Every structure is written in structure tokens, then in C-alpha cells.
Amino acid sequence: MLLKSLRLGARRLATVARDPRFATVQDADLRIFESICGRSHVKTTEIDNYKTDWTKAFGGNPACVLLPASTEEVSAILAHCSKRKIAVVPQAGNTGLVGGSVPLHDEVVLSVKRINKHFEFDEASGILNCDAGFILEELDNKLAPHGYMMPLDLGAKGSCMIGGNVATSAGGIRLLRYGSLHAHLLGLTVVLPTEQGTILNLGSTHKKDNTSLHTPHLFLGSEGQLGVITRVAIGAVPKPASVQSAMLGVDTFESCCNVLRMARRHLSEILSSFEFLDREVMIVLDEALGLKPVLKTNPRFTLLVETSGSNEAHDTEKMERFLAQCINDGLASDGVQAQSVAESAAMWRLRESAPLAVAADGFVFKNDVSLPLKHFYGLTEEVRARCSSMTKRIVTYGHLGDGNSHLNIVAKEYSKELYDKLYPFIYEWVNAHDGSISAEHGIGQLKLPYAGLGKSPAERELVHRIKSLFDPNGILNPYKSF
Amino acid sequence: MLLKSLRLGARRLATVARDPRFATVQDADLRIFESICGRSHVKTTEIDNYKTDWTKAFGGNPACVLLPASTEEVSAILAHCSKRKIAVVPQAGNTGLVGGSVPLHDEVVLSVKRINKHFEFDEASGILNCDAGFILEELDNKLAPHGYMMPLDLGAKGSCMIGGNVATSAGGIRLLRYGSLHAHLLGLTVVLPTEQGTILNLGSTHKKDNTSLHTPHLFLGSEGQLGVITRVAIGAVPKPASVQSAMLGVDTFESCCNVLRMARRHLSEILSSFEFLDREVMIVLDEALGLKPVLKTNPRFTLLVETSGSNEAHDTEKMERFLAQCINDGLASDGVQAQSVAESAAMWRLRESAPLAVAADGFVFKNDVSLPLKHFYGLTEEVRARCSSMTKRIVTYGHLGDGNSHLNIVAKEYSKELYDKLYPFIYEWVNAHDGSISAEHGIGQLKLPYAGLGKSPAERELVHRIKSLFDPNGILNPYKSF
């Protein structure tokens, strides 16, 4: 139910024809792959989990799934595929939402999940150097005894892998506090799809290194189209000793923005989340899942504010002052500070259940856009004015602190008429209001037709030329973004 | 005196011959430049400040200095220079230390200092969008009334410009707290040296934007060799309400590393500087400049710890607990917390005067390297063992929290024998111990002969191919890094 809307993309893209330049995998190729990875790591059956991604909306029929265990095996695979012009889709945790990690036709899937042996953590500097196939949560667990954690956190942390996090420039719920992965990435080992299977060690394990072009950052958000990431050097962050949560009820969107300003001032260095839910989300949470609001005053907007710090007494005091100031200044009409882990969990349950609530409510057209704060809720209002009569409900939640809105349009069922009313209208509106049509999910297959929106021909040409430089035969993750 | 050692690089590089592929600027070219920039902004006299950089160690005889006022003027200049194969050196504040921003022969200097009109700050998101020619300190002053500041701070802040900060991936003294510029850079306008003078708007003004390759980050540390940066979108950070300083005396280098661990735990989110000075620096500060140490116990090592936070009472308490724990655990033999701005200034004066003290003491061979903490001071000890008898003194200070050591070797006067004893030994030692030969200063002209150290042929080839992609005629900042 949750993922119905995404199937749209798959339907449309099924019409993209297979590129005849790519060779079809033959038995001889399978024998070579077996000689590289070992027989049991070249799979042609029981590969459903590799064919389609987490959304089940995208997928193809890969000729085989390869499970190399090392950078060298990836190199040998890519060298062979380059010579033979066999298309390859790199895959890590396969938890994306835009169809970027699965084949469209018969591309070979190259999974990095077995490249998960090397783990090296320098507690003095906080720098982690590890294989790309480690699951994000595993890394967090391994860092915890040292007093550190990964600088990013996602809903998919139990299955997404660090190599995929880097390839997609994953955002998540700690971004406000710790910044994007650009703030932490230091070095990469990547394999290029060349006839030599070129292995590159890029960057280093130093926080400061100005000895070359900072090429690792080009792979952040490259969606597996420049090379296969096999190892990652990244800065970890100290694990906070204290995490505090609070919810505020706010009557106007302008006041929400003022509460954010107030949070930046009062909570400053410990502010770790600033999440937004409108009243319509609260209603569907109750109606669809029976989840009652924490705030009983039925405010127009609900804000969920979280801090992560090193001193519980200090953090509690900061949060109390922040809440008091918001109430005193009339910015918030209601405010509750969580007094226990259970109360904090109840707040987060509302925010984290929002996608499930709308999915249970009907067919959902999901969106993931960045907007300047002054236009953040304008999009929702515009879409309501445009097509309320055709929908069941229109709700918005998201990461207000990052300017990242998740506008969800719910209908009884999929309707081509509603789709055409929504798209490309939403993307064009976002573009016209200086926004981004993909804040954190990427382009993949889903947004490919709109990838050029707001980009100049010169930017497009540069991106294509960079792609050709890294992937001269265009065999890596074809039919996607670039 | 300070900069004697750098002249070494200039002497050596004077032997790099002018590339005959480059055209010599003719009167007709000057007329075209005048038609683009206006007559008074094409200079052939009174250009000393553009010919040599801040070090006075590097420089050439530019055919002219161009002072365009806009992206469009830069585009017209680079289009003409591309057609005519005229070599161009982009220049911003010209405060570098490695000869990256000045010509070697007759290259035209293209200064961005007049591109300093556009300034747009969104207080809600904290995102700044401004021209490349703004001086860093000016930007800080413009942000202060909004409660924000730039995420970087340098000794050169009064003259360095944001375009140059990005081009060199400037580090500085706030890096420990706010991260590198990768953490903050969001978008760039750049002009490529093509026959069209291609203008590119790369990235955006959003904290989250996964709609394309993250190309702006490729310009961080590109040292003006890929394109000319004319506009920058960058995240500013809330200005701290409270800044605290303390000095600790420590008897072993291992204890210094343990104090750093302790600081990460106790000061965590407010730790903004962790600076290191050895006893030899303290002695030369006294002997050369008459600066007395703050700590009277003559410790083997002195650490300067600074916090930047939003709540003075909380920050003071955190600092007190941290100091008490270091003393109680026997990590530090001495510790003083600054009780006033004057006391804090006295601590910083010692650290900031260290380069001046060694310069006043004799001829200095300066170094800027990153090392794993376990090898941080090993380099100093190794160099002492190797050539103490040939030197006046060997001292080390630096940004221990970032793993960035500034090892300074002082001699009575320049000696080729000592130079040959030090180099390439130091760079090779750093490379063999997993370090970086340039932490924050870059390669420029000074370290060009060693730029390949520790890099694979494949990495070098990739970098050269990226350079060719952006600068097909190789006219931009020649004879430098790539």
C-alpha cells in the first residue's frame, strides 16, 4: 500500500528500450564470473531480493547477481564487463526510493554486501576506515563502545550499507546537527568500469589533506554511475550522552519559521532535529492508525524538536528555556517536553508513522523536495487549491530545519487525471520557487524525465562529460540519472 | 625574515621554462580586455601587489592585471584567452603560502576583487549567497547582526577572499568545531576557460539537493586550475554567545592524545580548538619575542583548548570539569582556565606568535603536514635525531585536534646541505607514516615536485583528465599542481 505511488515510475520506464550496444551475458561470461568470485557467488536463481528494490516498484531481470568479496574481485568483474560491454548495476543495501539500485532490463547486479571485512577505527582521531558492504547500524554498534557513532541515521539503518549511503549522499534525521556526508567523507576506494578495472584510492584518512583534487566528493550522490565504491574513510562523531525531545503547537507557518530561529539561538550546537507535521497529518495518523496526538490542543502545525548533547542537565535547561521563550513570545500555543524515553518515543512515533498512515489511507503521490523556507508550505497550499476536489487528503510532513518537505497527496486510487494535474506542475512550481525536486532521495529512474529542470545545458553537458570520463563505455547503471 | 624558507621554492621553480604554446599578450589583446572590463581595469603598471603573493617568495611578470566586475566579464576574458591561448592566473586575496595565486612568467592575472557586489543572506536557513571577491572578515561583519558567522576563520581573514578560500579549501582555526568547507559549500558560479567562456551554475542554495553530481565540491582545493569561481553559496553558522579558553601542561605526547580524548568527551559539541606547542616553541617565544609562558611549570607540551557555545554558564562548567578530570587523572600536570578576555588573548598570543618567533630566530624550513596522531610528534623526534647538530632549533606547534603539525626547523642561515638533509626525507617519512604532505596550504608551486608522493599513477591520470575536461587548452594557472 505504502509504495503504490512509486509504481508509476516503473510503469513509465518500462517503455525505455534495452540498449542494443550492451552484450547479452553468455555461459562463457558466467564461467569467468565464477572464476573471479567463486561458483556460489554467481547467482542466477533465488535472486528476487536483488531484482527489485525495497519499494518493489522498480526492477528488471538481471542475467546474474555477482557477489564479489574484495576490491580486486570487483576490478576483475568490471574489466571483463568493460571488454564485453556488459551493463552492470552496483547495489548495496538496496533501500533506495527512486529505483536507482536495480536493473531495468538484463543488467548484471554487482552487490557489495560481501565486501564487509575490513574495519579500522582510530579512536584518537575518530576516523573510521571500512569496507563498503557494512550495514549502517552494524557500524554504529561497532563504534558505540568507543563512545562514537556514525554521523548519519536513516529509517533504513538496519539494512542500508555505507557504500550506498555515500553513493546516494543519504540525508536522514541527524543532518541538521552533523551536516551532510560531505562534512565527514575523507577517502574512498573505487573501481572504475574500464578495461583495466582501474582501482583508485582517492582522498585519505586525514581531516585535512590538500594534496590533490578532492575527488571522493564527486562520488557523493553519483548514484552508482561513476564507479563502484568498495571502501570508505569517514569521520565518526562522539555519541551524545543526552538526547531530549519536545513538541510544540504553532498556529501559523510564519511562527514555525520563528520557532526555528529561536531554536537555532537557544539550542544552537545541540539542536539535532526540527521536524514538521501539519494538522492533516495528525488527523490521518489518528484515522488510519489510531495514533493520538501528544498535543491535545489541535494546533495548525506540530513541531518536533530534538537535541543531542554531552550534558543532560545543561541540555534539559536549554530546552526548558527555549520552550518557555516560545510560549512567552506567543510563537507557540502549546509545548511539551518529553520527561522519559517513552514520552520521547511517543513523539517520534507520530513523525515516523506519517508515511505509513498516508499509505494506509489510499493511493499516495509522494514528494521529496527542498524549498526556501518562505515557500515551504506554499507548495502544499497551492496543490490544495489546485486539486483538493480530486483527492482524499493532502498532507505535509518533513525536515523543516533542512527545508525538506514531504508533500503527500492521497487519493482513493490511482488516477491518470490526478497524476497529470500534479506532474509536472509540482516539479515546475518547485523549480520556479528556487527549490530542488530531489532533496535526499535522488533521481534514479523515478525523476529521470525531470532531472534537467532548472539545470542549464552547460551543467548537463559537464555532468555527461564527467560520466564519460569515469565510464567510457557507459556500462555502469544505465537508463538512470545522467 | 618569516618567509625566507619559502623563497627556496621560488628559486627552484625559476628554472621551469615558459611554455611556448602560450601566446604573448599583444596590444590588440589589451584593447579587447579594455573593451570588456573598462580601460582603468586593465593594468600594466602599479601591479606589484598582483605579481607576488603575500610571501613575496613567488612571482612573475604578468603581461597585465585584469579586474573584471562580473561573471559575464570573466566569461568574455576567458573566451578571448582560450581562443588566443593566453595563460591566466586567477587571483583572490593573494594570501596563499605556496605560490598558487601568482604567475611564474608572463601569465595574465585575473583578479576577482571587484566581483564583490552581490550579497544575499537568508536568516531563516542561514544560507549566504555572495560574490567571490568579498573579504572573509567583511562577510563575518555582515553576518554578525543576524547572529551568524562564517564557518571558517584564518589569520588572513582581513584580506583573504571567499572565492580563494573555496579554491584552496582553506582550513583555519575553527575547523575542529565546524568542519571543512565541504561541510558548508552548497553552490558555485564558475567560469571555465573555454572558447565560449562557459558560465556554470553548480549546486544550489539548498542544504539538501540530490538532483545532480555534486560538482561544486570538485572546486574545493582545485587551486584555481579548473575554473574561475565568481559566486559562492555557503551555509553560515550561529555566532557563539560564549567562547572559553584554557591551557594545560602535559608531560608526554601520549598524555596529549588522552587529553584530546577527554576533551572530545567532556567538551564534545562545544570544542572548537585544540592547539599544540612543544617546550622548544615556548623557549623561542621567550628568547625571540620576550613572550612569557602562561604556565609557569615549564611542561614538556602545552595545549590550548577553546570552546565555542551558546550558554556561558554551561560552557564554563564543562570546561572546569574537563580541566579537573585531566588533573585528577594525571593527564595534565598543570591547567589554567582564562578568566577574562585578556587572559584568553594572552594564551592565543603565544600560539599565534609562534611563526613570528621562529622567523625572528633564524632561517626557517616550514612544514604543514597531516599525520595520524600516533606519529604526530614522531616526525619531530626523527628530524631532531637526524639533524639537530646542523640546526639552531627544531620546534613543533599545530592543530593537534585536526592532526595537523607545523614542524619548523630553524638554522642560522640557509644551507643547501641542511635542505638536502630535510627534503625529500620529511615528505617521504610523512608518506611512509600514512600522512599528507599538505594539510591546509595546498601544493601550488612549493610542493609541486612532491605532489605525486603517495598517489597512484591511476589517481594522477584521473586528476589530469579532469583538469583537461575543465581546461581543454591548459591555460588556467599553469606550472602548478596538476
Give B173-206 pLDDT, tens digit per residue.
889 999 999 999 999 999 999 999 999 999 999 9
Is residue B450 a contact partner of residue B425, using CB atoms and an 8 Å limit?
no
Measure CB to CB from residue B200 to each of A238, A373, A458 and give the nearest one.
Answer: A458
Measure CB to CB from residue B201 to each of A175, A213, A456 and give the nearest one.
Answer: A456
> Using CB atoms and an 8 Å cut-off, which of residues 396-415 of chain A contact chain B?
399, 402-404
For A354, the enclosing helix (H) or strand (E) is helix A341-361
- Residues of chain B contacting A374 with CB distance shorter than 8 Å: 124
Is residue A287 a contact partner of residue A398, using CB atoms and an 8 Å limit?
no
For B461, the enclosing helix (H) or strand (E) is helix B457-470
- Residues of chain B contacting A241 with CB distance shorter than 8 Å: 268
* Separation of first and last alpha carbons in chain A: 30
Nearby residues of B105 by Cβ (< 8 Å), 6 or more positions away: B18, B60, B61, B87, B479
The phi-psi region of residue B169 (left if phi > 0; otherwise alpha if psi is between -120 and 50; otherwise beta) is left
Give, as one character, the DSSP assignment of residue A135: B
Measure CB to CB from residue B451 to each of A211, A222, A373 and give the nearest one.
Answer: A211
Look at residue B56 and tell me whether its pLDDT is greater than 80.
no
Nearby residues of B210 by Cβ (< 8 Å), 6 or more positions away: A168, A169, A171, A221, A436, A438, A439, A440, A441, A442, A443
Question: Is the residue at A280 inside a domain?
Answer: no
B464 in contact with A at a CB cutoff of 8 Å? no
Residue type, B190: V
- Residues of chain B contacting A205 with CB distance shorter than 8 Å: 372, 434
More confident residue, B14 or B433: B433
For residue A193, cis peptide bond before it (omega within 30 degrees of 0): no
- Residues of chain B contacting A317 with CB distance shorter than 8 Å: 314
How far apart CA A120 and CA A130 sit, in angstroms, is 6
B265 in contact with A at a CB cutoff of 8 Å? yes
Question: Is the residue at A175 inside a domain?
Answer: yes
**C-alpha cell at position A183:** 562534512
Measure CB to CB from residue B210 to each of A201, A260, A439 and give the nearest one.
Answer: A439
Total tally of structural domains belonging to chain B: 1
Alpha helices, H only, B405-456: 416-422, 425-432
Residue type, A262: M
User: Which residue does chain B place closest to A468, by CA atoms?
Assistant: B469
- Residues of chain A contacting B226 with CB distance shorter than 8 Å: 213
Structure confidence at residue B310 as a pLDDT band (50, 70, 90)? very high
How far apart CA A181 and CA A189 sit, in angstroms, is 16
pLDDT at position A432: 96
Q: Do A168 and B206 touch (CB under 8 A)?
A: no
pLDDT tens track, chain A, 482 positions:
333 444 443 344 457 899 999 999 999 999 999 999 999 999 999 999 999 987 777 899 999 999 999 999 999 999 999 999 999 999 999 999 889 999 999 999 999 999 999 999 998 889 999 999 999 999 999 999 999 999 999 888 999 999 999 999 999 888 999 999 999 999 999 999 999 999 999 999 999 999 999 999 999 999 999 999 999 999 999 999 999 999 999 999 999 999 999 999 899 999 999 999 999 999 999 999 999 999 999 999 999 999 999 999 999 999 999 999 999 999 999 999 999 999 999 999 999 899 899 989 999 998 999 999 999 999 999 999 999 999 999 999 999 999 999 999 999 999 999 999 999 999 999 999 999 999 999 999 888 889 999 999 999 999 999 999 999 999 999 999 77
Q: Do B439 and A210 touch (CB under 8 A)?
A: yes
Residue type, B352: E
Give, as one character, the DSSP assignment of residue B449: G
Q: Do A209 and B436 touch (CB under 8 A)?
A: yes
Q: Distance between alpha carbon B174 and the CA centroid of its chain, in Å?
A: 12
B307 - beta bridge partners? B244, B271
pLDDT at position B405: 96
Q: Do A213 and B482 touch (CB under 8 A)?
A: yes
Three-state DSSP at A230 gives: strand
A202 in contact with B at a CB cutoff of 8 Å? yes
Q: Do A403 and B208 touch (CB under 8 A)?
A: yes
Structure confidence at residue B2 as a pLDDT band (50, 70, 90)? very low
Q: Do B438 and A204 touch (CB under 8 A)?
A: no
More confident residue, A467 or B98: A467
Measure CB to CB from residue A200 to each of B207, B462, B482 and give the nearest one.
Answer: B462
User: Which residue does chain B place closest to A460, by CA atoms?
Assistant: B212
Closest CA to B210 of A229, A478, A182, A419: A182
Whole-angstrom Cα Rg for chain A? 23
Q: Distance between alpha carbon B259 and the CA centroid of its chain, in Å?
A: 26
Is residue B194 a contact partner of residue B79, using CB atoms and an 8 Å limit?
yes
**Angstroms from B348 CA to nearest CA on chain A:** 22
pLDDT at position B265: 87
User: Which residue does chain B place closest to A448, by CA atoms?
Assistant: B211
Whole-angstrom Cα Rg for chain B? 23
CA dihedral B262, B266, B267, B268 (to 10 degrees): 90
The phi-psi region of residue B298 (left if phi > 0; otherwise alpha if psi is between -120 and 50; otherwise beta) is left
How far apart CA B475 and CA A118 sit, in angstroms, is 43
Nearby residues of A461 by Cβ (< 8 Å), 6 or more positions away: none
B96 in contact with A at a CB cutoff of 8 Å? no
**DSSP secondary structure string for all residues of B49-62:** HHHB-TTSS-B---
Structure confidence at residue B155 as a pLDDT band (50, 70, 90)? confident
Residue type, B314: H
Mutate which of B168, B211, B256 to test chain A, going by most A C-beta atoms within 10 A?
A: B211
Closest CA to B303 of B340, B269, B342, B261: B261
Question: Is the residue at A244 inside a domain?
Answer: no
User: B279 φ, ψ to 5°?
Assistant: -60, -35
Establish, for the pair of chains A and B, how many residue pairs have beta carbons separated by less than 8 Å: 271
Q: Which residues constitute the domain of residue A124?
A: 119-238
A141 in contact with B at a CB cutoff of 8 Å? no
A439 in contact with B at a CB cutoff of 8 Å? yes
**Angstroms from A200 CA to nearest CA on chain B:** 6
How far apart CA B104 and CA A77 sit, in angstroms, is 46
Beta strands at A42-43 and A65-66: parallel, antiparallel or unpaired: antiparallel
Q: What is the CATH number of the domain that holds A204?
A: 3.30.465.10
pLDDT at position A36: 98
Is residue B386 a contact partner of residue B424, using CB atoms and an 8 Å limit?
no
pLDDT at position B373: 93
Three-state DSSP at A390 gives: helix
A145 in contact with B at a CB cutoff of 8 Å? no
Count of CB atoms situated within 10 Å of the CB of B455: 17
Q: Do A220 and B217 touch (CB under 8 A)?
A: yes
- Grid look-up 571502501 returns A231
Q: What is the mean pLDDT of chain B?
A: 94
- Please report how many Cα atoms fall inside a 13 Å half-sphere around the Cα of residue B340, on the Cβ side: 3
Q: Do B211 and A437 touch (CB under 8 A)?
A: yes
**Angstroms from B124 CA to nearest CA on chain A:** 6
Measure CB to CB from residue A370 to each of B208, B265, B482 and give the nearest one.
Answer: B208
Question: Is the residue at A140 inside a domain?
Answer: yes
How far apart CA B124 and CA B127 sit, in angstroms, is 8
Structure confidence at residue B5 as a pLDDT band (50, 70, 90)? very low
Three-state DSSP at A266 gives: helix
Alpha helices, H only, A362-451: 378-387, 416-422, 425-432
B148 - beta bridge partners? B238
What count of residues does chain A have? 482
Measure CB to CB from residue A269 to each of B182, B209, B270 and give the nearest one.
Answer: B270
pTM: 0.94
The ipTM of this complex is 0.94
Mutate which of B207, B255, B274, B315 to test chain A, going by most A C-beta atoms within 10 A?
A: B207
Angle at B279 between CA B347 and CA B433, to 5 degrees: 105
- Please report how many Cα atoms fall inside a 13 Å half-sphere around the Cα of residue A129, on the Cβ side: 16
- Please report how many Cα atoms fall inside a 13 Å half-sphere around the Cα of residue A460, on the Cβ side: 10
Question: What percent of chain B is predicted at pLDDT more than 90?
Answer: 87
Q: Do A206 and B373 touch (CB under 8 A)?
A: no
Q: Do B463 and A215 touch (CB under 8 A)?
A: yes
Angle at B403 between CA B398 and CA B409, to 5 degrees: 40
Nearby residues of A474 by Cβ (< 8 Å), 6 or more positions away: A21, A467, A468
Measure CB to CB from residue A209 to each of B311, B439, B451 and give the nearest one.
Answer: B439
**C-alpha cell at position B348:** 592565543
Q: Do A260 and B124 touch (CB under 8 A)?
A: yes
Question: Is the residue at A468 inside a domain?
Answer: no
Question: Is the residue at B3 inside a domain?
Answer: no
Look at residue B477 and tell me whether its pLDDT is greater than 80.
yes
Q: Do B212 and A463 touch (CB under 8 A)?
A: yes
pLDDT at position A53: 82
- Residues of chain B contacting A260 with CB distance shorter than 8 Å: 124
- Sign, Cα dihedral of B471, B474, B475, B479: positive
Mutate which of A212, A237, A402 to test chain B, going by most B C-beta atoms within 10 A?
A: A212
Q: Do A443 and B210 touch (CB under 8 A)?
A: yes
Structure confidence at residue B123 as a pLDDT band (50, 70, 90)? confident
How far apart CA B304 and CA B463 sit, in angstroms, is 38
Using a 10 angstrom Cβ sphere, with 0-12 exposed, 13-18 middle and 19 or more buried, the burial of residue A285 is buried
Residue type, B294: V
Look at residue B29 and tell me whether its pLDDT is greater than 80.
yes
**Angstroms from B42 CA to nearest CA on chain A:** 29
pLDDT at position A220: 98
pLDDT at position B13: 47
Is residue A215 a contact partner of residue A202, using CB atoms and an 8 Å limit?
yes
Q: Starting from the edge strand earliest in sequence, which strands make up the sheet with A88-91, in order?
A: A42-43, A65-66, A108-111, A88-91
B432 in contact with A at a CB cutoff of 8 Å? no
Alpha helices, H only, A144-246: 162-168, 175-178, 216-219
- Residues of chain B contacting A147 with CB distance shorter than 8 Å: 264-265
How far apart CA A192 and CA A377 sit, in angstroms, is 42
pLDDT at position B481: 79
Q: Do A267 and B310 touch (CB under 8 A)?
A: yes
- Residues of chain A contacting B221 with CB distance shorter than 8 Å: 210, 212-214
- Residues of chain A contacting B453 with CB distance shorter than 8 Å: 211
What are the C-alpha distances in Å from B372 to residues A238, A239, B375, B377? 18, 22, 6, 10
pLDDT at position B124: 80
Q: Do A212 and B238 touch (CB under 8 A)?
A: no
Question: Is the residue at A43 inside a domain?
Answer: no
B198 in contact with A at a CB cutoff of 8 Å? yes
How far apart CA A403 and CA A376 sit, in angstroms, is 7
User: Which residue does chain A place closest to B180, by CA atoms?
Assistant: A183
Question: Is the residue at A66 inside a domain?
Answer: no
- Sign, Cα dihedral of B222, B224, B227, B228: positive
